[in-house]
Structure 1
Amino acid sequence: MAAKEDAPLAALRALRAHLIKGKPVEVEGEDLVFRDASGSELRRLPKHSPTAYHSKKLDKSYDLLAVYTCFKHADLSFSDYVLKCREDKAAMVSTVDKKELVAFLKGDIDSSPQILDASGKPTADSGEKDRKTTTKKTRDPEDEARAAKKRRLAQEKENHRHKHGESHKTPQELKQDEQMKRITDRECVNRTRTTVLDAHKTKFDNVVKTLELVNAETKEKIEKASKASALMATTTARKEQLPLHRLVKEKILGTPIIVVPAGFSDLFTMLNAKDFLEDGVYVSNMQKKADGHRKQQSMMITHEEDGHVYTFKIVDTVNRFRDKDWRSVVGVIVSGQSWQFKGWKWKFPLEVFKKVCGVYIYNQGSQLNPEIKQWDVKVLMIHPDKRHLDKVAAKEFWRYLFAFIKHKLQ
């Protein structure tokens, strides 16, 4: 190990030592502040200063803020962790790096191959060496004294036996034998292991009553638990038996809303969404405009599913939405751009798709937007030269939407 530890490694070890002690860490402006239990500042480091912990996949190290944010939100799910990273404006630690980093910060492990020194080499060996040295240095002086005394007595005993033979006892052993003899001479045998098993009574009425009481209490608890389980099963069965059209009518205030993209260059807009959703036919925006159709602010469409007709409201803007409107939003046709969700009640697309059914439709041959792969949306494809496949895509859209609605409302 070098005489002076390099800064990234020192920063990582300083943060780890502070977290292991359970002391608070706060983010203040551009700094990460280490405090003691009373809240007094102990140390301050730039939050974006690099650490010695490197990514497995990318040739880069994580900064202090990313490392601390990973530790702080270690128990969250991946999607919630991503949201917290965006809120804290921190770099995200990848899933393959997260587990080992958290284990290192908690003190479960003392080193990692991903911790590199200034020369780019792992510090695992040096970490092991430091740990052994520290353990040796911090050993209790009293323990050392006891160990030395034990070694000295053992050596004296060995020398005595070597000199006088194995059968000859040391003065200390003779003294111990004398003390034990005085104790055993005064012993009076009261009960033995045989007599202690003898019972003066042949009836155990008290024991039987206790067992009966315990059995009665256990039986009562089992009966109560069975009744509760039966009631819960009945309630669940009733919920599952409730038809979809009843769920939509009773739990959605007003008309269910589907939001479509607002850009004219998007595949689906207010001009052609009705043709696709109602009739399963795709007509381009250019064709609709050439035919004299104009964009409406909103429109109603109907769809029949399992013998019941459902009505949906189609819009492409949410600027004037109130809480009642947001509760009615059930689906969105995704354009592939995150700015589509600007002005929405939920800040990030990941939050949107927890509440609303997302569907992305694209033309075969066109490039799939990379962001789509990170979102929880249904991806459908239509073929520019095979219009009969439009109905297949439309049918799949409705199947996925109704499955999402049923799961959400139940």
Structure 2
Amino acid sequence: MSRNDPLSLLREFTISKKPITLVDSSGGLVTELTDASDVVFADDRQTFTFPRSTPTNYRRGATDETYTLETLLFLLQRAHKSVSEYNLEGAQKGIPIVTILDKRLVLDYLTGATATSSSIVYQPSETNVHARDDVVDDQQDHPSKRQKTLAQSGHADENEILRLIISKERLARTTASVLRGNKSFANIQKVGAGILLKSKSKDEKAAAVAAAAAAKKPDSRQPGATVPSSTSSRPGAVPGAAVSRSGTSSSQSKSKSSSSRIPIIIIPAAITSMITMYNIKQFLEDQVFVESQELRNKGGAKPNRLTVERRQKPNETHKTPYHVLDSTDNLRPEDWDRVVCVFTTGAEWQFKKWKWQKPIELFAHVKGFYVKWADEQSKESIKTWNVEVLNLNRSRRHADRAVVTEFWDKLQGWCLANKPTLAY
């Protein structure tokens, strides 16, 4: 391919990182491709100028149409962007884009990752017509004549000889060419980009209308502000009272609805228990066991109620809350339906005055756990109760994570099977 071909120059300047200049109709330098009328390739030897709409030799897909210089240059400028951003910006600027099937092949060729491409259409120049005729004759005549012809054209550029050879090649159908097809979806891409623009415009208008409405709405907290109300027409009615009551009622209803689905975990109140209100939050959230006595020595007060939060997945931002308490005195009858887990010390008196006072009945309605040191034996009562045993190592605190993970996995599996309506 000759050096004054726009495709060759674009590839050469891209590989060698030479600057490509954009000029407008008056010859002034511009930075945006849409403002330019010509593209200038200038180096120490020569300068070439092409209109930005100049067709190149790179064929679009399986069609006979070729990409223009501005299309290939726009692709190089936006190679770092995603497909959707590239297509949207092309539609906004009115610049034809490279199809998604050709994008990687075009970039590889222009950046030098590949030496050639089957989509390039080679067209011999008039100065080499005779040389091409000689090559055609050589395919039919004696080898001595072929050598003579090649000797006569020895002064020709090696690239020109290669071009003549490739011009006689016929590319067989490959998997890639069959999948590429012969249809162009450029119009669909333009329509999609237009839909995205309309949707974005509607969202911006809706946000502006909402902001304007919020600005006009009077603030009931400001002196002299009035709030429309259907009850204000009644004698003695206080403006805004109905709105305030309905707003409070709605808020309370929503709060009650969400809180009534939060699972409850009950732990022992005994100070000899390994799991207490002092260390339960650090154990279940930070996955590290710290003895309660150590935390009590620091002077912290024992909380009456805690909320433990847990991410269901490592990268999930939402945290699921669990209420934790060590006394059932303030539990209402309907709250027992939210109890999903009970930590036990193995003493039956722990369940006194509970809804289910018998261990067999209790652990048929909730998931039971018993925490102990790994080198200790479980209590005899635990062996007959339907509870899971969690073994902690006395000195290896890094092993606590595996124990806590086991706890959450078993509790969530039980909740899925027995309490699917709760927000766990």
When normalised by structure 2's length, the TM-score is 0.37
When normalised by structure 1's length, the TM-score is 0.38
The structure number with the bigger radius of gyration is 2
The structure in which a higher percent of residues are helix is 1
